[in-house]
């Protein structure tokens, strides 16, 4: 999608020029932390998402600039406040890993601009709400709370083993002892219609209008989910249409990976890398790369544990497999 000329002019005059309020706020923040600031928004995608909320085209770029100015000022104030010394140390420690302050801009369904730290990309993400312009003071107060909540590890929810069916809590209430049970002849439970009926398939008889489809990051959250596991001697690759599934696999493997004792700093023996998809406006992962190529330990990668995790825990069903590649599918939606 090509941007309107009005937006191109505003980007040049209000985003790029050095004498703008945005550039001044970024410069003050950059000088304080000692790192350059990198922020390159996907303007066509942002405009596609937010165009309905800005009937006056000339207010869109100034609104985004105003949000980023409030963000920079709020972060500068926090970092410069001695009472936040512990938080400042955590923030600078994370920034030192990339030696640059990366800022991503996305769109979310929140009621105000929000921000969070994205550890996978060593970047802050600013989420713009689907609404018009917000006041600087309101945004600054909101960003302060968001910043202080950053760098705290998120709890990983426990995932129960996948089962073919669930028994209701009162399933034993009406069971009586009869002659069949007494004699040891117990018949298997009869399958009900609800337990055998497959999810209704959506019949598509017309091609949709591409401009009306949801963003890829939203479409990928809907079933059916597809997963492909490929295994080789020193590396494995998991491709999945459901990004949260990849995140769970990555966190689980990272938690239980052994250390490489053959190296001085004892890094993890397996290198886990979530790879970002080139599609979508937000941060979307569609591939997990698993490698022991640089490990000095005599380890070999095998797919059996992952196959068990994918089928037995995550509930995916094997649809096709060869000697080194397995394809899975899951029809039911994961509950949030």
pLDDT of residue 195: 41
pLDDT tens digits, residue range 247-291?
A: 999 999 988 888 776 666 677 788 899 998 888 877 788 999 999
Most confident of 31-45, 170-184, 292-306: 31-45
| The pTM of the whole model exceeds 0.75 | no
Asked whether residue 152 carries a pLDDT value surpassing 80, the answer given is: no
pLDDT of residue 248: 94
SS3 content of the chain, % helix, strand, coil (to 5): 40, 20, 45
pLDDT of residue 202: 65
Pairing between β-strand 235-240 and β-strand 225-231 as defined by DSSP bridges: antiparallel
Indicate the length of the chain as a whole number.
336
pLDDT of residue 109: 79
pLDDT tens digits, residue range 111-142?
A: 889 999 988 888 999 999 988 888 877 788 88
Sequence-distant (6+) residues with CB within 8 A of 326 are 228, 229, 303, 307, 318, 320
pLDDT of residue 169: 52
The radius of gyration of the chain's CA atoms, rounded to the nearest angstrom, is: 26
pLDDT band at 46 (very low <50, low <70, confident <90, very high): very high
Give the number of other CB atoms < 10 A from CB of residue 142.
Answer: 20
pLDDT tens digits, residue range 211-236?
A: 778 888 888 889 999 999 999 888 99
pLDDT band at 158 (very low <50, low <70, confident <90, very high): low
Query: What gap in Å lies between CA 275 and CA 294, rounded to an integer?
Result: 19
pLDDT band at 145 (very low <50, low <70, confident <90, very high): confident
pLDDT of residue 194: 43
pLDDT of residue 127: 93
Query: What gap in Å lies between CA 146 and CA 169, rounded to an integer?
Result: 41
Does the bond joining 84 to the residue before it have cis omega, within 30 degrees of 0?
A: no
CA distances from residue 11 to 87, 127, 282 in whole angstroms, order as listed: 33, 19, 21
Q: Which of 48-57, 95-104, 149-158, 168-177 has the lowest mean pLDDT?
A: 168-177
Q: Identify which of 246, 242, 270 has the alpha carbon closest to the alpha carbon of residue 258.
A: 270
Q: Is 64 exposed, middle or buried (0-12, 13-18, 19+ CB in 10 A)?
A: buried
pLDDT of residue 167: 47
Helix (H, G, I), strand (E, B) or coil at 315: coil
DSSP code of residue 83: G
Sign of CA pseudo-dihedral 105, 108, 111, 114: negative
State the alpha helices, DSSP H only, in 272-330.
304-308
Direct distance between the N- and C-terminal alpha carbons of the chain, in angstroms, rounded to an integer: 33
Q: Which of 24-38, 53-67, 70-84, 273-287 has the lowest mean pLDDT?
A: 273-287
DSSP run (H or E) holding 129: strand 123-129
Q: Identify which of 128, 136, 100, 126 has the alpha carbon closest to the alpha carbon of residue 21.
A: 136
- Domain positions in the chain are 5-148, 216-330
CA distances from residue 265 to 184, 259, 261 in whole angstroms, order as listed: 61, 9, 8
pLDDT tens digits, residue range 10-45?
A: 999 999 998 999 999 999 999 999 999 999 999 998
Q: Which of 149-158, 186-195, 299-308 has the lowest mean pLDDT?
A: 186-195
């Amino acid at each position: 999608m090509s941007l309107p000329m009005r937006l191109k002019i505003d980007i040049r005059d209000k985003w790029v020029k050095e004498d703008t309020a945005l550039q001044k706020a970024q410069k003050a923040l950059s000088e304080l932390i000692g790192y350059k600031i990198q922020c390159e928004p996907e303007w066509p995608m942002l405009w596609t998402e937010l165009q309905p909320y800005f009937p006056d085209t000339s207010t869109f770029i100034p609104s985004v600039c105003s949000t980023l100015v409030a963000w920079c000022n709020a972060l500068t104030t926090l970092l410069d406040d001695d009472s936040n010394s512990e938080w400042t140390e955590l923030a600078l420690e994370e920034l030192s890993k990339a030696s640059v302050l990366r800022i991503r801009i996305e769109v979310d369904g929140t009621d105000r601009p929000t921000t969070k730290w994205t550890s996978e990309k060593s970047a802050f993400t600013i989420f713009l709400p689907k609404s018009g312009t917000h006041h600087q003071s309101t945004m600054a107060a909101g960003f302060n709370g968001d910043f202080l909540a950053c760098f705290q590890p998120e709890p990983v929810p426990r995932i129960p083993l996948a089962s073919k069916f669930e028994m209701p809590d009162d399933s034993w209430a009406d069971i009586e002892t009869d002659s069949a049970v007494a004699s040891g002849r117990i018949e298997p439970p009869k399958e009900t219609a609800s337990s055998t009926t497959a999810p209704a398939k959506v019949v598509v008889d017309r091609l949709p209008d591409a401009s009306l489809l949801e963003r890829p990051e939203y479409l990928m959250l809907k079933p059916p989910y597809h997963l492909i596991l490929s295994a080789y001697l020193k590396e494995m690759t998991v491709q999945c249409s459901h990004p949260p599934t990849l995140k769970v696999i990555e966190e689980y493997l990272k938690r239980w990976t052994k250390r490489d004792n053959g190296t001085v700093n004892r890094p993890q023996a397996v290198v886990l890398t979530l790879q970002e998809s080139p599609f979508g406006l937000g941060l979307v992962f569609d591939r997990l790369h698993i490698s022991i190529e640089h490990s000095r330990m005599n380890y070999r990668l095998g797919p059996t544990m992952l196959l068990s995790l994918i089928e037995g825990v995550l509930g995916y069903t094997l649809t096709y497999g060869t000697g080194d590649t397995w394809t899975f599918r899951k029809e039911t939606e994961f509950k949030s």
